[in-house]
Amino acid sequence: MIANVGCSSLAMAFLAALYGAIAAAYGARRARPRYVESARHAMLLTWPLVTVSALAIIWLLVSGDYQIHYVASVTSNSMPTYLKVTALWGGQAGSLVFWSWLMAAFASAAGIRKWHRDRELLPWVVVVTMVTLAFFLGLVVFFENPFARLWLTPEGRQVTALFQPRGTTPLIPSDGQGLNPLLRHPGMIIHPPTLYLGFVSFVVPYAFAIAALVTGRTDDRWVRITRRWTLVAWLFLSLGLILGGRWAYDVLGWGGYWGWDPVEIAALMPWLTGTAFLHSVMVQEKKGMLKRWNVILIILTYALVIFGTFLTRSGVLSSVHAFAQSAIGPLFFLFIGVTFVASLSLLIKRWDDLKSENQLGSIVSREALFLFNNLLFMGILAVCFWGVIFPLISELFTGQKVTVGPPFYERANSPLGIGLLLLMAIAPLSVFGQTSWKLLGRALWKPLALSFMVPFFSALRGTTNLGALLGYWVISLITLVTLYEFWRGALARRRRHGESLPVALWKLTSRNRRRYGGYVIHLGVVLMVLGVIGIEIFQTETQGTLVQGEQLTLDRYTMIYESLTQFDTQDGRNVTRAVVSVFRDGKNVGELYPRRDFYYSSQQPMTIPGVRSTLEDDFYVLLVGWESIGLSGATFKVYHNPLVNFLWIGGLVFILGTMVAAWPDRGPEPVLKLAKKRAATARSKIGGLR
Amino acid sequence: MMKKSTFTLSIAISLLFLLLLSGVAAAQDHEPTDDEVNAIAKQLYCPVCENIPLDVCPTQACVQWREIIRQKLAEGWTEDQIKQYFVDQYGDRVLATPPARGLNWLVYILPPAVFVVGAYLLFRVVRGWRQQAVMETPIASISPDDPYIARLEEELQKRDR
């Protein structure tokens, strides 16, 4: 019954989305507002319909209706309820429904707010969002239906079908297979939804860009409308990436936070183009330049969002994340191809209308530096994209699979990343328009001179690694420049309004949130880079097999193997848990409990590290193996990860900065006011000419 | 003449044999440590658990691979020989990056090529703008001492109103 309700509401949502797309396009083309209004109502209907469907799935998951194939494949009796709920996005069909649910919500949000203000653009926004939604809903209705049931043929074969095939009997398993062990983690509550939120909200700026292209509104209206959407999308995508890193660090047991896994890269790629877009869009707002480029960037971001979902959902790449595999791959491929070509054709049609209104002031002007920033982001994108698809190309043409692993990405991206960091240090001091090297030099020399202090002193204290010293120098420079920016802004305010420094700082930030929020993000990046330097350059590791009472030493740490126990848990795991005592500089600092969980149902082991975490460093212990008889001997792999916590602290600062930048304004934005004023003067001028 | 060459050969063979024997003996003296095994395992990927380096992969298959590395090290094999052994058995995919030959060259050439083309395009666009800019008079007027502060103050004043 519940399944039928969910399934029919899913089908209705699909029809509503399809109708909305067609009616909106027809109404806008033929100038029939009634059709557009009707399309809008259809769009507003999709969200409640998909909500009903998603709730139905959650109901089935929690109540354990194992005749539903999806329920049987991602849940089991022993799973805690919160994991059963999160199983909505733990498998193929459910996660596509979840995607659609978010898409419907965002489309409705874009359509409810300020519908009357942007009448011209909104019909096309409806078209784009509803086409996207209809595609995803079509996939779930026709190919990956989460409500399909299990049936048993008279020959004893198991079939999956929505309706009872003739001559079969319902098959109701007593237990399900359960969620992939990798996903049984509290991170499951938040990491996939944030990533999806990031993915889906990028569809909205794309939809406005396409609407601008179709209607021929070549001003920066679409950019202004979607500024906050873009920031919010970017916020969630960044948060999703950071949380994913933390999750990997906590449970995957490889001592790191980022493994250049294809699925990680799939989420990183739209982030790269999105970040480039966030920067270059400012040039369009300020100078009316880069209009074509910004459209290209948002088209790319959309394509990469769908491509990212495709990579994780099609099973085309096998990786730790590609737990769901099915035949929907070709459809995804087709959809990406068609939307990409259609978007580009629209762009080409409007190419001449999107001419730059301004010229580049100087090679060191803010706009020029933003262009270099974009070049570097595109460089990283090229490396990532190529690294991900090359194994497929190789397999296709030579039949041989190859691995493109971390060394490739690290070697290729490091110089580009350092270039980006340098720009981050210089660009805040440059200005838009006419400027010169001299002007930039005058602003830069003080922070530059000071920035050499940190690498100098750390070299004195015995750091000999050139990469680390270079890294210290760059991040000191960024920090100094950024703080200098806050400082001189606050000073200017104090001079002007006689405010105390803290008040001046507060007002400065709260009234230029995007600018100063951006700087806070830069400071977050600085902290994260510090963590990356810690792991990439200073991480050490060792491994040893110990009998009880023996010890293993790494840097300043010593661990003693105390004991090992093995037991079964209620949720179908066999846990092998070691107790080790940890000493730092000979002083006991506590016990750690590294363990290995073996999941009976999926026959998969999971390695959960024991970690002692301080601001200075992490001591990270993995239980690699043990003597099965007597449990007397065990093998441990230990890592010493200096500074790694700065990665997470930096992540928090990063997110905080994004929230500052994206926080809603109270009154109308000053830039908008400025635009209005400009428009008014232009009108009066035209009036005067008449 | 004939006899002499046979003699030299037999000497050479027995010398070689002795050398090998001593090599094996030397290697057997030294039981490879886990860290030595991992140093090699880190660079290898098993075909089953894709994208997880061998040194940290918990599956049974990977445990066996690490045992093979340990055995080979004990037998005195070098790092390159061991890697080659796995390549021969399972193909190039066991290596962290594809060996630079044939089609694989594309992996290494394409991204820098794209970057260079991008840089060139950027250069041309920038040059085009600059030429235009020289022809036209600059639009923005700039206050001489510090344009940023001037603009900031102007903005702030506007907001405070």
Asked whether residue B59 falls in the same domain as residue B110, the answer is no
Which chain B positions have a beta carbon within 8 Å of A387's beta carbon? 107
- Asked whether the predicted pLDDT for residue B131 surpasses 80, the reply is no
* pLDDT(A682) > 70: no
What per-residue confidence (pLDDT) applies to A677? 55
Domain boundary among A345, A375, A405: A375
Write the pLDDT tens digit of every residue in A614-665.
999 999 999 988 887 776 789 999 999 999 999 999 999 999 999 999 887 7
pLDDT tens digits along A512-525: 888 899 999 999 99
In a domain, residue A237? The reply is: yes
Q: How far is Cα A286 from Cα A344, in angstroms, rounded to an integer?
A: 25
Mean pLDDT is lowest, of A43-52, A596-605, A641-650, for A596-605
Whether residues A302 and A171 share a domain: the answer is: no
Task: Provide the shortest C-alpha distance from residue B62 to chain A (in Å).
Answer: 11
What was the pLDDT predicted at B156? 61
Same-domain check for residues A67 and A34? yes
Distance from CA of B13 to the nearest CA of A (A): 40
Q: Are residues A158 and A19 both part of a single domain?
A: yes
Chosen from A393, A411, A442, A543 to mutate, greatest number of chain B CBs within 10 A: A543
Contact status of B61 with chain A (Cβ, < 8 Å)? no
Query: Does B25 contact chain A (CB < 8 Å)?
Result: no
Number of structural domains, chain B?
3
* Contact list, B149 vs chain A (CB under 8 Å): 488, 492
The residue-averaged pLDDT of A316-335 equals: 65
Note whether B90 and B51 are same-domain residues: yes
Report pLDDT for A11: 96
Give the total number of structural domains in chain A.
3
For residues A64-74, average pLDDT = 92
Q: Which of A159, A179, A199 corresponds to the end of one domain?
A: A179
Average pLDDT over residues A597-622: 89
Look at residue B63 in the predicted model and tell me its pLDDT.
Answer: 86
- Is A255 in the B-facing interface, judged by CB distances under 8 Å? yes
Look at residues A223, A205, A209 and name the one whose alpha carbon lies nearest to residue A350.
Answer: A209
| pLDDT tens-digit readout, A97-111 | 999 999 999 999 988
Question: Distance (Å, rounded) from C-alpha A253 to C-alpha B51?
Answer: 13
| pLDDT for the residue numbered A316 | 66
Domain match, B46 and B16 both: no
Does one domain contain both B61 and B88?
yes
Within this chain, do residues A247 and A121 fall inside the same structural domain, yes or no?
A: no
Q: Which range of residues forms the domain containing residue A190?
A: 184-356+368-375
Q: ipTM for the complex?
A: 0.80
User: What's the CATH code of the domain at A28?
Assistant: 1.20.120
- Give yes or no for a contact between A558 and A578, defined as CB atoms under 8 angstroms apart: no
Does residue A292 sit within a domain? yes
| Contact flag B34-A371 (C-beta cutoff 8 Å) | no
Q: Is residue A111 part of a domain?
A: yes
B49 falls in which pLDDT band (50, 70, 90)?
confident
A493 touches chain B (CB under 8 A): yes
Same domain? For B56 and B84 the reply is yes
Residues of B in contact with A259 (CB under 8 A): 51-52
* CB within 8 Å of chain B, chain A residues 525-584: 541-545
Does residue A71 fall inside a structural domain?
A: yes
Check CB contact under 8 Å for B142 and A254: no
Nearest by CB: A404 against B98, B126, B158: B98
| A166 in the same domain as A219 | no
A311 or B17: whose pLDDT is higher?
Answer: A311
- Does B46 share its domain with B4? no
Element (H, E) at A622: strand A617-626
B127 to chain A: nearest residue by CA?
Answer: A360
Q: What is the band of A594 on the pLDDT scale with cuts at 50, 70, 90?
A: very high
Identify whether residues B36 and B25 lie together within a single domain.
no
Are residues B52 and B83 both part of a single domain? yes
Q: Does B32 touch chain A (CB under 8 A)?
A: no
Is residue A118 predicted with pLDDT exceeding 80?
no
Q: Identify the pLDDT of residue A683.
A: 52
Q: What is the mean pLDDT of residues B75-79?
A: 91
Residue A434 pLDDT > 80, yes or no? Answer: no
Instruction: Over range A163-167, report the average pLDDT.
Output: 88
Are B90 and B42 within one domain?
yes
Residues 6+ apart with CB under 8 A from A191: A240, A243, A244, A247
- Judged by a CB distance cut-off of 8 A, whether residue B89 touches chain A is no
pLDDT digits (tens, 9 = 90+) for A169-195: 999 998 888 888 878 888 888 999 999
Co-location of A239 and A118 in the same domain = no
Pair A171, A244 in one domain: no
Number of neighbours of residue A519 by Cβ within 10 angstroms: 23
End-to-end CA distance of chain A: 70
Q: Do A198 and A307 fall within a single domain?
A: yes
Q: Please answer yes or no on whether B34 and A635 come within 8 Å at the CB atom.
A: yes
Please judge whether A359 and B130 are an interchain contact, meaning their C-beta atoms are less than 8 angstroms apart.
yes
B122 to chain A: which residues are within 8 Å by CB? 371-372, 375
Contacts 24+ apart (CB under 8 A), A553-557: A554/A619, A554/A638, A554/A639, A554/A640, A555/A640, A556/A584, A556/A585, A556/A640, A557/A582, A557/A583, A557/A584, A557/A619, A557/A638, A557/A640
Last residue of a domain, one of B96, B118, B134: B96
Give the pLDDT confidence of A245-290 residue by residue, as tens digits. 998 898 876 778 888 888 899 999 999 999 999 999 988 888 888 8
Write the CB contacts of B102 (distance below 8 Å, at least 6 apart in sequence).
Answer: A398
**Residues A170, A56 within the same domain:** yes
**Closest by Cβ to B159, choosing from A605, A606, A670:** A670
pLDDT tens across A119-136, in order?
888 999 999 999 999 999
Question: Which CATH number characterizes residue B77's domain?
Answer: 1.10.8.640
Contact A596 B58 (CB under 8 A): yes
Q: Does A196 lie in the same domain as A121?
A: no
pLDDT band at B24 (very low <50, low <70, confident <90, very high): very low
A681: confidence class by pLDDT, cuts 50, 70, 90: low
What angle do helix axes A466-497 and A437-451 make, rounded to 10 degrees?
A: 120
Q: Which pLDDT score, from 0 to 100, does residue A332 have?
A: 87
Which of B74, B96, B118 marks a domain boundary?
Answer: B96
Binary contact (B111, A382; C-beta < 8 A)? yes
- Integer CA distances (angstroms), A137 to A15, A40, A50, A141, A653, in order: 9, 18, 9, 6, 37
Name the residue range of residue B129's domain: 104-160
Q: Does B117 touch chain A (CB under 8 A)?
A: no
Asked, for residue A296, whether it belongs to a domain, the answer is yes
Task: Classify residue A380: in a domain, yes or no.
Answer: no
- Facing B97 at nearest CB: one of A359, A405, A542: A405
In angstroms, what CA-CA distances link A559 with A589, A631, A633, B11? 10, 18, 14, 53
A191 in the same domain as A170: no
Domain for residue A121, yes or no?
Answer: yes
Mean pLDDT rounded to a whole number for chain B: 74
- B-contacting residues of A 641-680, CB under 8 Å? 670, 673-674
Interface of A with B in 592-621 (CB under 8 A): 596, 605-607
- Whether residues A69 and A217 fall in one domain: no
